[in-house]
Structure 1
Amino acid sequence: MHETAAGDRETGLHTSWSPPLIGLVAVLVLVNFMVDTAITAPLIVLPQMLDHFGTDHTAWLNASAMLAGAMWAPLLGKSADVHGKRRVLVLTLLISCAGALVCALAPNVWVFVAGRLLQGSAVAAMFLTVAIVRDVCAPRIAMLIVGIVTSGSGVLNIVSRFATEKLAAAHGFQILFVVSAIVAVTMALAVRGVVPESRITTPGRIDFGGALLMGSGLLGVLSYISLGSELGWLALGPVALLLGGAVALTRWSLVSSRKPEPLIDIRGLGLPLVLTLLVIVLATGSYQSLLQLIPLLTEVSGSQGLGYGLGGQGSLALLLAAPGIGVMLGGPLAGALAARIGPAATLAGGVVVGTLGALGMFAGASMFPAAVVFAFLLGFTVGALGTSGFNMAGSLARPEQQGLVSSLVMVVVAIGSVVLNFVGSAVLRATAVTVDGAAVNSGTGVFSYLAIAAGAFALAAVLALALARHVRRERNTPAHIQFERSHS
């Protein structure tokens, strides 16, 4: 089989770098930069948004977009496998654009949250870019490019963090959502012009009913976690949301098990994929919750005697840029290592580093230099985690299922982020204290928050090491024994 710089002539897959591939990668990196402007940029102005809307629902303002990602991802992943990845990616970008405009014009917090639910469709853009890479590249180079595509936007984020801070200070937080809308529609045009349509699609039906059941179930359960700490864990409203969500998820599980083409085939998930998803849900949830905590640490000064506080010690933009640098380095490095030692081993190594980063934030809660260093380590971990998670899941999927299986990664990313953000916010609200007539987060609350995040990372590390051992054992098992196991 003869390979050229443009790709393999027989299969049409890229096997080495070429101008068309470089252009494609550049566009996909910019698409994921748009995702960052939609999901993480608002963290910089989180205190301003809380003041503007007169609410303390930190998790709703921050995590509602990730919640929407969990609702959108399976539907868009299945649609991409059936109708084409480029077409669905363009639609996703346009929906995100509409959501950003709603957020910019929102007169109250609930309209804002509705806009975030629309804008959260951008989360699907991440896994669609990965599915496109695996669709057009040979497996070995695809692992490296997945790392670049998922993490390359970190370069832009380093600059944008400081620009975002200045823009928000001059024009209000709404300007961030206007910028996000402009970036989204620009990238929709770029994708339409540069990205080829899928080579492989699969006939099938889209389970809209299953998507509605799963999404409403997640919304009910996570709403209970968010509202229970404020209204009471046994109050009628939160309990009704919990029961409604549990019924919807149970119904979705039962109905899906009987459908020939369910949105997510729970029965078809093997042990390696299940372990991969568990690692991702715990580690990314921990990272996102820590990212949510960082702006709150800067609101308190160490001189207030609460046992923590970074106020007056340095720039919040620098603190949020440090993870961006880590992501930028961790993703491509994990992709290069995965091509040599496999994504499972790379995933395990990344999560171990993340556990060290989470533990280090106990010191970083009161010392700015330590916070920058350990925030960098956490970013490095999430870059490696995203790359290795997508590579691991993609290696377990058939070509015609790349969109759907990649969407599962984003589902658990969103679920982990939302759950741990809500849990952390509940802990902070339950332990708040009053200082000089104003409610502030207590040291007990902050360090309990950090303990939950570090514990989640540690559990993820244990599971990641178990996954790496399982994959290594399977790789060393003779092929005829693997065949007998799969047919027993």
Structure 2
Amino acid sequence: MHDTSTAATTDQDPSTLHSHWSVRVVAYVAILIMVNVMVDTVLAAPTFVLPHLARAFDTDQFAWIGASAMLSGAMWAPLLGKSADVYGKRRVLVITLLVAGLGGIVSLLAPNLAVFVVGRLLQGAAVASLFLTVAIIRDICVPKFALAVTGIVTTGSALFGIATPFVLEPVLETFGWQAVFVASASFAALAAILVRVIVPDTKRRTPGRVDVLGAVVLGIGLAGVLVYISLGQVFGWLGAPSLLSLGVGIAALLLWFLVISRRPEPVIDIRAISLVLGLGFLIVVMGTGAYQSKLQLVGMMVDVSPDEGLGYGLASPLALGLMFGIPSMGIALGGIGAGYIAQRVGPAWCLTAGIVTGTAASTLMFFGNGPSTLPVAVTASFLLSLTAGNLVTSGFNLASILAPAERQATVSGMVMVMIAIGSVTMNFVGSAILGATSVVRDGETVNTATGIYAYIATIGGVFLLAAIPAFFLMRKMRRQVSVSTDTASFSHI
């Protein structure tokens, strides 16, 4: 990766970097995991209550409810990544936590869907928290040790998800869907305090400026195109609102690419992205998008009883806990395992393994009658969760060994943009499939087995397509050193 930025004004003394576990490192990791628990309450927890939210706001736009925060994250990430390199990662992390907490309060008190979506857009700042925790780890640990620690920080929060569904179900019955957003705002406030008081500020700064205008234009472009995918289902793909959104999005992206990105110090220097990093981004955007859309699908399947005769349904006393709790172990195992394995073979191999397990899980779900067989659905979900933990950790690790020290947050932010784009796009695609195949039954619109299975087949197809860039990535990386303690040695890839 060819870096054109100015070197950091304050670099780390190698002797101060952590190379092994200690009480201090454990404390830092525990706090950063708490930060990512908050991220989970923003991104994953609302999927547990999608039917409740749809009823509360009288809408069938599941994709907006489930993906609005991730869409917002795609807009926030470039600005916050660049800001973190220039002004300090800890400072920007604290700010993002406070903004996300405010978003949780707005969502909690929202009187209608429009205000609720505003709250979710504010909560989208939490997406930046994830990649900033990775960048902080890279600042305080030696590169090889950081690979393993990154796996723990990015996916360790999933362990809390094991108990979450079992605890959440009685809480929802007592307090309603609002409990999710109370928890989110509370975690954000507590995490902000702990990060500010305990996590060190390495004082590493990259001289330069933050192109706020460029970040806004890029964010508008991404949002315009992604919103079009959603509005097309409601107003028609050639409807005026849909075409207006698409037109604004494309115009903003063209303006940013042809004019703004060519100025000095753009928020994302796409011309500095190497082939290897680009292939890694492509794998991440496809693989994580497929997994995130699976969460939306599971939320619908566990809300339907097999007795309804729709040809699918997993509702039972244990369904919610099994479908969301057990796979949480898969996310943690996948991420932590990928971090330690990357120390030996490199993150590219781990990315490829993730595509293999994702394809296998989708195949099992489709041919094993997963939508109506709980043991099969739980097994497939566990495999998909292994895939998700692996892909997120390996995507960040690949970026970290390719990016120079002074651009860690910026490049990590680009990984988060890929995750956000994949998640939002696949959620909307899945929602479109279900909407096109739904039927009216007893005066109520319900999803059909045809739609459910088409949704699963689409997820599997995305994993198969991701195997193409994975193949070329492996060919490229076979000629490179897998892992080095010197990040700069990868700058030519």
Q: What is the TM-score when the length of structure 2 is the normalising length? A: 0.93
Q: Which residue of 2 aligns with 1:172?
A: 176
Q: Structure 1, residues 91-125: CA drift from partner, whole Å, max 9, x if none? A: 01000000000000000001000000000110111
Output the CA distance in 2 between the equivalents of 1:128 and 1:171: 33
Q: Structure 1, residues 237-256: CA drift from partner, whole Å, max 9, x if none? A: 11111111111111111123
Equivalence map 1:74-473=2 (5 Å)? 74-312=78-316, 314-362=318-366, 363-473=369-479
- Higher mean Cα deviation, 225-234 or 365-374? 225-234
Equivalence map 1:8-47=2 (5 Å)? 10-47=14-51
Output the CA distance in 1 between the equivalents of 2:194 and 2:165: 24
* 8 A contact 2:161–2:324 mirrored in 1: no
* 8 A contact 1:50–1:57 mirrored in 2: yes
Q: Structure 1, residues 147-203: CA drift from partner, whole Å, max 9, x if none? A: 000111111111222222221211111121011101100000000111111342101
Output the CA distance in 1 between the equivalents of 2:363 and 2:442: 31
Q: Structure 1, residues 418-465: CA drift from partner, whole Å, max 9, x if none? A: 001011101111111122221101122111111111111111123223
Output the CA distance in 1 between the equivalents of 2:475 and 2:311: 41
Output the CA distance in 2 between the equivalents of 1:348 and 1:277: 13
Output the CA distance in 2 between the equivalents of 1:55 and 1:281: 28
* 8 A contact 1:313–1:368 mirrored in 2: no
Task: Structure 1: give runs of 5+ residues left out of the alignment.
Answer: 1-7, 477-482
What SS does structure 2 have at the residue aligned with 1:196? coil
Q: Structure 1, residues 29-62: CA drift from partner, whole Å, max 9, x if none? A: 1111111011111111110000000000100000
* 8 A contact 2:261–2:268 mirrored in 1: no
What SS does structure 2 have at the residue aligned with 1:365? helix
**What code does the residue aligned with 1:238 have?**
S
Identity value in percent: 51
Output the CA distance in 1 between the equivalents of 2:457 and 2:317: 23
* 1:334–1:171 Cα change, 3 Å: same
Deviation at 1:320, TM superposition (A): 1.1
Deviation at 1:473, TM superposition (A): 1.9
- Higher mean Cα deviation, 381-390 or 194-203? 194-203
Output the CA distance in 2 between the equivalents of 1:244 and 1:393: 31
Deviation at 1:361, TM superposition (A): 2.0
* 8 A contact 1:135–1:199 mirrored in 2: no
Q: Which residue of 2 aligns with 1:480?
A: none
- Higher mean Cα deviation, 296-305 or 73-82? 296-305
Q: Which residue of 2 aligns with 1:49?
A: 53
**What code does the residue aligned with 1:380 have?**
L
Q: Which residue of 2 aligns with 1:479?
A: none
- Higher mean Cα deviation, 164-173 or 103-112? 164-173
Deviation at 1:233, TM superposition (A): 1.3
Q: Structure 1, residues 198-228: CA drift from partner, whole Å, max 9, x if none? A: 3421011111111111111122111111121
Deviation at 1:301, TM superposition (A): 2.9
**What code does the residue aligned with 1:83 have?**
Y
* Residue 67 of structure 2 corresponds to residue 63 of structure 1: yes
Deviation at 1:314, TM superposition (A): 3.6
Q: Which residue of 2 aligns with 1:3?
A: none
Output the CA distance in 1 between the equivalents of 2:436 and 2:90: 45
Q: Structure 1, residues 306-344: CA drift from partner, whole Å, max 9, x if none? A: 332213374213211122110111111111100011111
**What code does the residue aligned with 1:274 have?**
G
Output the CA distance in 2 between the equivalents of 1:82 and 1:455: 40
Output the CA distance in 1 between the equivalents of 2:58 and 2:299: 17
Q: Structure 1, residues 332-378: CA drift from partner, whole Å, max 9, x if none? A: 11111000111111111122111111222223111111111111111
Deviation at 1:475, TM superposition (A): 3.7
Query: How many residue pairs are counted as aligned between the two chains?
Result: 473
Output the CA distance in 2 between the equivalents of 1:127 and 1:210: 20
Deviation at 1:18, TM superposition (A): 1.0
Output the CA distance in 2 between the equivalents of 1:81 and 1:34: 23
Output the CA distance in 2 between the equivalents of 1:250 and 1:25: 40
Output the CA distance in 2 between the equivalents of 1:169 and 1:211: 42
Output the CA distance in 1 between the equivalents of 2:52 and 2:136: 37
Output the CA distance in 2 between the equivalents of 1:13 and 1:199: 13
**What code does the residue aligned with 1:56 have?**
D
Q: Which residue of 1 aligns with 2:8?
A: none
* 8 A contact 2:319–2:374 mirrored in 1: no
* 8 A contact 1:322–1:379 mirrored in 2: no
**What code does the residue aligned with 2:451 have?**
G
Output the CA distance in 1 between the equivalents of 2:343 and 2:14: 23
Task: Structure 2: give runs of 5+ residues left out of the alignment.
Answer: 1-11, 483-488
